Amino acid sequence: MSNIPTFGVGTFRLNGQVVIDSVRNALDVGYRAVDTAQIYGNEAEVGQAIAESSVARGDLFVTTKIWVENYSKNKLAASLQDSLKKLRTDYVDLTLIHWPAPGNGVELSEYMEALAGAKAQGLTRQIGISNFNIELTKQAIAAVGKDQIATNQIELSPYLQGRKLTAFLKEQGIQVTSYMTLAYGKVLKDPVLARIADKHQATVAQVALAWALQLGYAVIPSSTKRENLAGNLLARDLKLDADDMAMIAALERNGREVSPEGLAPIWD
């Protein structure tokens, strides 16, 4: 199993001073893992926030993701070096293929081997995948071996529970990282989650995050508000009981928020 922190801060859709403040506040209140991506256009700002914080690089876990146009073997490592410059670091802890992009013109085996090559060069400590279905995960395993694949970062929330895919990943010993765990805030208005939150004197966000953590997933929620960043972190101390988990299991509705055409696979 990989040693990926179970709690990190996400930076999707955050740019400029907003992302600098978010990452700075996150590090301040105790986060030690930060998730970004080439396509987010905020690696330089994330790097600035990290550089200006008092947290030592060795105590941090930084993840980025390779964007589709950089998948070919002659571009991937160079694009990661560019990311490292922006992030002001000699290495990242984890680098993911952002989307499988089946019709992209670059074979899966080519970009997985290029990613493994970037790891061999020391540009990244671990590698993994994001938004891969079962079939494509099998192909990634065939290309580089399952021990190389630290995680599959996928959209999961109480409304999209991905039981087939997560069971397969668990079987393979591949860590599941859940993104959009709050379904763009949609779950925050859920009456079932609100009842569970009341019972535990917790927030609905904490309940949704605790649900994912209890299933063994890593989470990377984002927030622009310091108090929400701090509040989300408390999900680590919230223990849901079997009744709570069963009630949340019943919320499944295949409520997918993100599935860009041409990039996404055929979902399981």
Closest-CA residue to 33 (of 10, 54, 3, 8): 8
Q: Is 252 left (phi over 0), alpha (psi -120 to 50) or beta?
A: beta
Residues contacting residue 198 through CB under 8 Å, at least 6 positions apart:
none
Place of tokens 């509705």: 253
Closest-CA residue to 181 (of 151, 152, 213): 213
Across 113-183, the runs of DSSP E, i.e. the strands, are: 124-130, 149-155, 175-179
Q: Which residues are catalytic?
A: 40
Q: Are 213 and 235 in contact (CB under 8 A)?
A: yes
Tokens, residue 124: 């990244």
Please, what's the b/e burial string for 188-215 (b: 16 or more CB within 10 A of its CB; e: otherwise)?
Answer: bebebbeebbeeeebbbbbbbbbbbbbb
Supply the angle between the helices 204-214 and 242-249 in degrees, to the nearest 10.
100
Place of tokens 């590090």: 27
Report the run of H or E that residue 142 belongs to, with start and end: helix 134-144
